[in-house]
Chain A
Amino acid sequence: MLNRAAVEGTALALLALSIAFVWVRHRRASRPESDGGYTTREEVRYEIGRVQSAAYRWLTTTNHRDIGLLYIAFGTVAALWGGMDAMMLRTELLTPPADIWTPETYNALFTTHGLTMLIFFVLPVFFGIGNYVLPLLIGADDMAFPRVNAVGFWLLPPALVLVRMGLLIQVTGQVLNLFLPEETIRFFLTVREVSVGWTLYAPLSVQQPNPQIDLLLLGLHLSGIATTVGAINFIATVAYERAEGVTWGNLDIFSWNMLVTSGLALFAFPLLGSALVMLLLDRNLGTTFFATQGGGPILWQHLFWFWGHPEVYILFLPATGLMSTILPKFVGRKLFGYQFIVYSTLGLGVLSFGVWAHHMFTTSADPRIKLSFMAVSIAIAVPSAIKIFNWITTMWDGDIRITAPFILCAGGISTFIVGGVTGVFLAVIPIDVLYHGTYYVVGHFHLIVVGIIPFLMIAASYYWYPLITGRWYDTRLAKFQSLLIVFGSFVTFMTLLVIGGLGLPRRQAIYPAEYQLAQQIATVGAYIVGLSALLWLYNMLASYWQGAPVSTTDPWGLKRTGQFTREWQWFEKRMIERYDMEPSEPETRRRSYAPEGEPTGLAGGVGTVAQTVSRNAWMAAVGGFVGTVLMSGGLVTAILIGVLDPASFGEISELVGLGANQTVGAVLFLVGGTVTWPLIFLAFSEYLPGRLLFETGLVFATIISSGFAIAFYTGQSGLALVGYLTFVLVSHWAYGLGLTVTFQFLKSDEALRSDGGAFGR
């Protein structure tokens, strides 16, 4: 078997050397060599002095932007380390037996991968982005407590070292073993990476003697303190440091999300700290918090997941904040439904504390309690869906610019939809019991944590790169890298969803041979994700020295659509001060779509909102009635030739509690077609494609026909199925045409009468 410590240590060292090489090479290439390229002694001396002063500056800074960059750099290091674990464990899964790493090494790899990524990669990077831009977005001079901010960051590196000490000790032991006898370095050869899973379930985590578990618990505790400190700072900053004119009603959406995230962290992390101390006491002082004779192993699961599920939202909410901030800039429209997004964020924050036991559906908890957790776990999909619909509506009919940040936003939405919907299934107890502990779960949550979360981090890095560095990144490489990471993520985790659906258990180094091809596809996808991450890193490092300098105060042309937000205003001021630039003025300005504006509506917005709505409603109802009658013609034909079962109409009346009566069902169908669907059409017609209303009506009818086809399907097959689907589609088109043509007829008739009236007066 390969030696994990030697391989991972060597790979990380090579990676660090490559990064240093890229940095030094591009830095040298960006500077003129006046003396023909020879390095003089003075230059070396100057370089050493420069490094010393830079080290002093970075170690002692309390500037929010510097600390933000430190957080981001730290998070990137953790991501590379945890990513290396992922690549190694995916490599093991290329073959069914455990023949590259031992099963224990494999267990350690997925344990450290999970802990490093969740604790030391995601939140530090979001705290970094928050540190850099949040004070700029709210017009604050700095974070509320700059020194505490610095302390909060500097607690993280020792925490990471403690958590990953196993690998460091193993590498040290193997190096020392070359010179010293085994007996003298026994400690170094004994400690190894923790292999009990990132959830640290008792009783395994209590009983396993590996002393690295204790170091890991101490490291996690330290990181929890760092997170709590950072969270308090964000809350205080948003609450007390806002500039004049920044109110709760117009606070930018990223700051709202960081505020809610910090609130969650403030309540969740102290609890994790307490649980970790209890585990330490159980392991070292013989207490029985998680022993069967005491609190029991299930207590650990309750405490762990009471932190663990809010933690999911602590990781996810900043990404949604970035999405709501960045996406509108690249579609030329203001965020649709600002208030709904804020309320959905607050809703997620509250609900996230009421779903933890869905991780424990396979335990022996009381079924009635499980049921309540199932209900809340399903309900939590609603605020998430609100966000999705608002983002899609923001994009709809927008002036989309295909840039790297946009590709990542669109990719993030799509992975989130799949990852989110598969999560709703897991919230249902019988389904969860079936899929618990399978790759389905891995696929589900990785479509979020290797979907919207890193995608939006990378999107933010591209979006604010000109603001942070004053240079442009390589835009072509960025677009390519963005497409690549979205592709790699889908290939990897959709494959895992499928093999999980087939029942393959996770956390096993050994698996049945029939899954080999799928595992190989997933591994290749994972390598693609890894390579795209390296391409991103290269772009960031190389462009810092050799990217084209930003030559305008509005690099993204945000003034054109009135989205030149505070952080860019700060950037403009700095560019004017530093380089005496002229504030850029766009050639054209247009108002980006503002949902607060006067609703225009289909009838042109004449009169009050109430008048407009009631006029549109009755015209739509008439149109809907005509459409439904036309549609009925098609459906009756379908019934006559035997491709549609009339009994299915009985189900409608059954649905409203009136028994399976076909006539009542048909009447209800007519009422629905007259009232419900026309109103839905009116609400959404503005966002559906089609230049003319009848085109929009056809699109609408096509969309809703899919629902009809599913609801009224009664097991048709072969030609009957083809006929059924065709009649459903054609009948719906008749409905769409009837609705829209009647509506337009009534509208034009009203307009004629209105003109006539005016003429008469």
Chain B
Amino acid sequence: MSSGSQSTVFQYVAPFVGVLLIAVGIAGAVPGGYAILEPDLENCGNPTIGVESPEMTAERFGGETPRPRVARLAFEDLSEAEQTAFREALDDAVGEAQVVGAVPNADAFRRGAVVSYQGEDHYVTIVAENTCFQAAPLQFPLGVFAIALGVLGILTPPLYRRLIRLEQRAKRSE
């Protein structure tokens, strides 16, 4: 460490620690904040289902009738939320939609099930569980604190140079 305006600690180490703190702070605050907001988004815990077209379903089973271990459901057997998601997935570009509401057939979908809709078979499976995010309650406030402290670290060199100028002015006025 040198002294005066060339102090390595204030010119380089402090902002370096500052950047580290900001990076760690972001890693803490973003998920921590998200965990606080998530219940209001109302969609965690609701799985996303993928619905295949009749052609892809036929191709998957080689044109044969699916074996008994693949559950077979009628569209009417699905809950209202499942039916809505099913229809949305059919319209979707990649054939996926999130179920918002009760999923009584979750286990069947998890293993893969064939749903009959308007006389055609569609293979349905869960493609994302969308589990609710868990984070420690202190993660968000500590993350924000780390970011603030880090910003202070980054601003140390200009603040330090100002302090030096202040000292020099004070000495001149003596």
Q: Which of A725-756 contact B (CB under 8 A)?
A: none
Q: Which of A203-221 contact B (CB under 8 A)?
A: 207-212
Are A99's CB and B44's CB within 8 A? Answer: yes
Per-residue contact bits, chain B 85-103, to A (CB 8 Å; 1 contact, 0 not): 0000001111110100000
**Contacts A1-B130, A102-B48, A524-B23 given; does A191 touch B16 at CB 8 Å:** no
Per-residue contact bits, chain A 387-407, to B (CB 8 Å; 1 contact, 0 not): 000000000000000000000
What's the A-B contact tally at a CB cutoff of 8 Å?
92
C-alpha gap A300/B170 in the complex (Å): 73
Residues of A within 8 A of B129 (CB): 97-98
Residues of A within 8 A of B124 (CB): none
Q: Does B54 contact A (CB under 8 A)?
A: no
Are A209's CB and B27's CB within 8 A? Answer: no
Q: Does B12 contact A (CB under 8 A)?
A: yes
Residues of B within 8 A of A103 (CB): 127-128
Are A99's CB and B12's CB within 8 A? Answer: no
C-alpha gap A97/B134 in the complex (Å): 10
Q: How far is the CB of B104 from chain A (nearest CB, A)?
A: 22
Q: Does B34 contact A (CB under 8 A)?
A: yes
5 A-B pairs with CB atoms under 8 Å apart are A94-B31, A104-B96, A209-B94, A480-B157, A527-B22
Ranked 5 nearest A-B pairs via Cβ: A527-B23, A210-B93, A99-B133, A524-B23, A102-B128
B27 partner, pick from A104, A192, A524, A532, beta carbons under 8 A: A524
C-alpha gap A357/B19 in the complex (Å): 41
Residues of A within 8 A of B95 (CB): 209
Q: Does B116 contact A (CB under 8 A)?
A: no
**Contacts A527-B27, A531-B23 given; does A192 touch B94 at CB 8 Å:** yes
Q: Does B131 contact A (CB under 8 A)?
A: yes
Are B27's CB and A520's CB within 8 A? Answer: yes
Give the bracket for the number of chain A residues in contact with chain B: 35 or more
Q: Does B11 contact A (CB under 8 A)?
A: yes
Residues of A within 8 A of B34 (CB): 2, 100
C-alpha gap A523/B24 in the complex (Å): 9
Residues of B within 8 A of A212 (CB): 93
A190 partner, pick from B12, B41, B91, B131, beta carbons under 8 A: B91
Which single residue of chain B is at the shortest CB-CB distance from A92?
B31
Residues of A within 8 A of B44 (CB): 1, 99
Which single residue of chain A is at the shortest CB-CB distance from B31?
A94
Are B128's CB and A484's CB within 8 A? Answer: no
Are A195's CB and B131's CB within 8 A? Answer: no
Are A97's CB and B131's CB within 8 A? Answer: yes
Are B16's CB and A480's CB within 8 A? Answer: yes
Question: How many of chain B's residues have a CB under 8 angstroms from any CB in A?
Answer: 35
Q: How far is the CB of B56 from chain A (nearest CB, A)?
A: 8
**Contacts A99-B133, A480-B12, A480-B15 given; does A524 touch B93 at CB 8 Å:** no
**Contacts A483-B16, A484-B19 given; does A523 touch B27 at CB 8 Å:** yes
Q: Does B164 contact A (CB under 8 A)?
A: no
Q: Does A476 contact B (CB under 8 A)?
A: yes
C-alpha gap A144/B96 in the complex (Å): 51
Are B16's CB and A208's CB within 8 A? Answer: no
Q: Which of B37-51 contact A (CB under 8 A)?
A: 41, 43-44, 48
A positions within 8 Å CB-CB of B:
1-2, 91, 94-95, 97-100, 102-104, 186, 190-192, 195, 207-212, 476-477, 479-480, 483-484, 487-488, 520, 523-525, 527-528, 531-532
C-alpha gap A99/B128 in the complex (Å): 10
Are A524's CB and B92's CB within 8 A? Answer: no
Residues of B within 8 A of A208 (CB): 93-94
Are B31's CB and A91's CB within 8 A? Answer: yes
Residues of A within 8 A of B16 (CB): 480, 483-484, 487
Q: Does B132 contact A (CB under 8 A)?
A: yes
Residues of B within 8 A of A191 (CB): 93
C-alpha gap A330/B23 in the complex (Å): 31
Residues of B within 8 A of A104 (CB): 48, 94, 96, 127-128
Are B93's CB and A102's CB within 8 A? Answer: no
Q: Does B70 contact A (CB under 8 A)?
A: no
Q: How far is the CB of B155 from chain A (nearest CB, A)?
A: 12
Residues of A within 8 A of B30 (CB): 91, 94
Which single residue of chain B is at the shortest CB-CB distance from A186?
B91
Per-residue contact bits, chain B 102-146, to A (CB 8 Å; 1 contact, 0 not): 000000000000000000000000011111111000000000000
Q: How far is the CB of B75 from chain A (nearest CB, A)?
A: 21
Are B157's CB and A476's CB within 8 A? Answer: yes
Are A479's CB and B128's CB within 8 A? Answer: no
C-alpha gap A622/B119 in the complex (Å): 94
Are B94's CB and A527's CB within 8 A? Answer: no
Residues of A within 8 A of B127 (CB): 103-104
Q: Does B71 contact A (CB under 8 A)?
A: no
Which single residue of chain B is at the shortest CB-CB distance from A213?
B93
Q: How far is the CB of A609 from chain B (nearest CB, A)?
A: 47
Kindly list 4 other residue pairs between chains A and B, CB separation below 8 angstroms, not including A94-B31, A99-B133, A528-B20: A99-B130, A190-B91, A483-B12, A531-B22
Q: Does B73 contact A (CB under 8 A)?
A: no
C-alpha gap A121/B20 in the complex (Å): 26
**Contacts A190-B91, A210-B94, A480-B16 given; does A99 touch B131 at CB 8 Å:** yes
